[in-house]
Chains A and B, each alone.
Chain A
Amino acid sequence: MSVPLTELSAGAAFAGHAARIREHIVAMCSGPEGGHLGGSMSLVEILTALYFGVLRVDPAAPADPDRDVFLLSKGHGAIALYATLAERGFLDPAELAGFGTWGSRLMAHPVRAVPGVELPTGSLGHGLALGAGFALAARLDGRPGRAYVVMGDGELQEGSVWESAMGAAAQRLDNLVAVVDRNGLQISGRTEDVCALEPLAQRWRTFGWSVREAPGHDLDALVGALGSTPWEPGRPSLLLADTTKGAGLPFVAGAVHSHFATLSVRQLARARAALAAGTGGGGRD
C-alpha cells in the first residue's frame, strides 16, 4: 500500500480523474431525487488530491489496520465521495446510476455499506471528533495511520467542531489533518453574512492547529500541502481550501442556489457540455 508515484505533476496526472468525478456528480444530480450539487462540485479537487495523491488506502484491502482514514464530515457531499471511490476502484462506477433510488445502497449521506466509507456522516459537526478518535487509536496502537477530515465552512458554525478542535490540539494529534471546503456559502447565504467565520485561519491557529491555505481547485497545491503533514510536529494540521461552490458549472458556480439541484434532461446536457468545454474551469481561475 503506497502513494501512487508519478513523474507527472499531480495536476497533469489526476486531472482526468477530477473530470470524470464531475461527470458522475452531475449525472447523480439528474436522478429523481436530485443531489447536493454545489458542495459536491467544490470538493472534487480536494477528494481527487486525497484519494490519488495522499491517502494510503487500497480498494483491495479496505480494512487494512495500517490504512489512512478519510471522513467526509460534510456528509451532504456524499455523491462526490461515491464518485471518487468509484474512480479509485472501491466500487463499480455503474452503481452510481442507482444513487438514491430503491435497491441502491447509495444514500445522500455516506453509509457504511459502501466500500471505502469508514463511518456515516451527514449531521454536521461530527467528523472532526471521529477523525481525532481514529488518530488517537493509531497512536495508541503505534500504527502509521493518519486521519483526514473534510468539513464545510458553514459546518464550522457548529459548536461541536470547536470542542474537537480544542481537544485534538490538546492531545497533540499531529496525525490528524482537517480540510475546510471554504466555498463561502451555506444554504441560506454567504457564511460571512449568516454567521461570520473570519478571521478563520487565525481562529484555528489560536486553537492550537498548524494552518495553511491553498487554492482549492489546484491539484498540485493540494497534494503538496496535504502530502506533507504534519507541518509542525505535535500539532494537527488544517488546510483552508479556497473553493467555488458549484465549480465547473458556469451557470451555478458561486451561487447559493447551487446547494441542491434536481437537474432536468436539458440542464444535464448543458452541464455536460460545460464540463466538456471546461468553461466553468476547475474554479475561479
Chain B
Amino acid sequence: MTDLRRATRVAYRDRIAEVLARDPRTVCVDTDTGLFQGVDFGAAAHRYVNVGIAEHNAMGLAAGLAAGGFTPFVHTFATFAAMRAAEAVKIDIAYNALPVRIAATHSGLSAGHFGPTHHALEDLAVMRCLPNMTVVVPADAAGTEALLEQTLGLPGPLYLRLGRKPTPPLPAGAAPPRLGFAQVLRTGPDVLLVACGPHPVHAALGAAELLAADGIRAGVLNMHTVKPLDVPALLAHSAGRALVVTVEEHWRAGGLGGAVAEALAESGPVRVLRLGVDDTFASVVGDHDALARHYGIDPASVAGRIRSALSVGPPVIEEELHHGHRLSRM
C-alpha cells in the first residue's frame, strides 16, 4: 500500500517556488527555517531573502516590502509568528492591512517532543483577534495547495497554519475547500462537529463514524477558514442540533472553539462543547500523534466526550476542574 500521507508544510513549500516564478512581485522571506533547503528558485533566486534567526525583523521587513508594492511570504514556526513577532504582525502588518502572507509551520502539537517552547497552542487566538487578518488552517496537503492558490489575490494579510510531519489526506469525495466557506465533510441531524487542521478533522470524522454505530448522527464541517468565519454555514448546520462540538489543536481558549462559541452565542440556544488542549503547558513527552491522543484529539476520545455530554447534561467548566485552578467567584 502506498503511503498517501504528506506534510502540509511540504505541499506548501513545493508550490511556493512556482508562485515566485509566476509573479515577479512576490518575495520569499525566510528566518533560517531550513524549509527551503534544496529548493531551486531559478530566475527568482534574488527574491528569496533569508534574514536569519530574526522573526520580528522578518515581519517588519515584510510589512515594508508590502508597503513598497511587493507580496512577501514570511516563513517561521507558528509560535514564533504569533508570539515572538506578534507586535510587528499587529502594528506593521495587520494595522496597515498589508498583503503579507505568514506561512507558519510546526503549528499545534506538531513539534511533538520539542516541547512547549515550540508548541503553538495560542496562535489562532492571537491571529484571529487582529483586524484585517485572514486565518487559514488546511487539513491536508491537497487542501493546502487549493487554499494557497485561492489566497494569492487577497488584498490583506494572511496567516496560513501548517504542520510539520506527514499527515493523511482527507477522504476522497469531498469538494475541494473554498476559502471562506466551511467544507461539508458529512451531514447529520443530531450533532455538529466543527474542526480545523489535520488531526482534529480526522478525529472529528472518526468520531462521527463511531457515533453512527450508537445511532447518533453527526455532521462534520472542516472549518479551514477560521477568520472570516463562515457563520451562515455554522448556523445552517447547527440548527436543531443537540450539541455543537469544536475540535482543534489549540488551547481551548480563543481558537476555533472560541470563534464558534462567540458566533453561536449571538444567535441562539445551542450547547457548544470545545475540545482541544487543556489549559496547561505540556509536561508529557511524545511525538505529535501521542500528544494529540493525550489531549483527546482522536476519534475515540472525541466520541466519548460527545456521548457523555449528551447523556450527562450541562457541563462543568472543565479547565477549572482539571487543574484545580479555581478562581474565587465571590
Residues of A within 8 A of B (CB): 32-33, 75, 100-109, 111, 113, 120-125, 154-155, 157-159, 186-189, 191, 194-195, 259
Contact = CB atoms under 8 A, between A and B. Distances in A.
Q: Kindly name the residue among A100, A107, A111 whose own CB sees the greatest number of chain B CB atoms within 10 A.
A: A107
B285 A186 contact: no
A113 B283 CA distance: 8
Contacts of A104: 285
A105 B30 CA distance: 32
Nearest to A32: B287
Contacts, number: 88
Interface of B: 30, 32-34, 36-37, 50-54, 56-57, 79-80, 84, 112-118, 283-287, 290
A96 to B, nearest CB: 13
B282 to A, nearest CB: 8
Contacts of B34: 187-188, 259
B285 A107 contact: yes
A186 B114 contact: no
A109 B115 contact: yes
Nearest to B118: A122
A124 B33 CA distance: 13
A103 B285 contact: yes
Contacts of A259: 34
Given A109-B114, A157-B52, 19 more contacts: A100-B112, A102-B284, A102-B290, A105-B285, A108-B115, A122-B115, A123-B80, A157-B54, A158-B54, A159-B57, A186-B32, A188-B32, A188-B34, A194-B32, A194-B50, A194-B52, A195-B50, A195-B52, A259-B34
B287 A33 contact: yes
A155 B53 contact: yes
Contacts of B115: 107-109, 111, 120, 122
A109 B113 CA distance: 8
Contact of B56 (A32, A106, A123, A159): A159
B30 A123 contact: no
Nearest to A31: B113
Contacts of A121: 117
Contacts of B56: 159
A158 to B, nearest CB: 6
Contacts of B79: 123
Contact of A120 (B30, B33, B37, B117): B117
Nearest to A194: B52
Given A33-B112, A120-B117, A259-B34, A100 B285 contact: yes
Nearest to A76: B114
Contacts of B113: 33, 100-101, 107-108
Contact of A159 (B32, B33, B54, B283): B54
A195 B54 contact: yes
Contacts of A103: 285
Contacts of A189: 50
A101 B290 CA distance: 9
The 10 closest A-B pairs by CB, nearest first: A122-B117, A195-B52, A107-B115, A157-B52, A100-B113, A187-B34, A157-B53, A102-B286, A108-B114, A104-B285
Contacts of A191: 52
A187 to B, nearest CB: 4
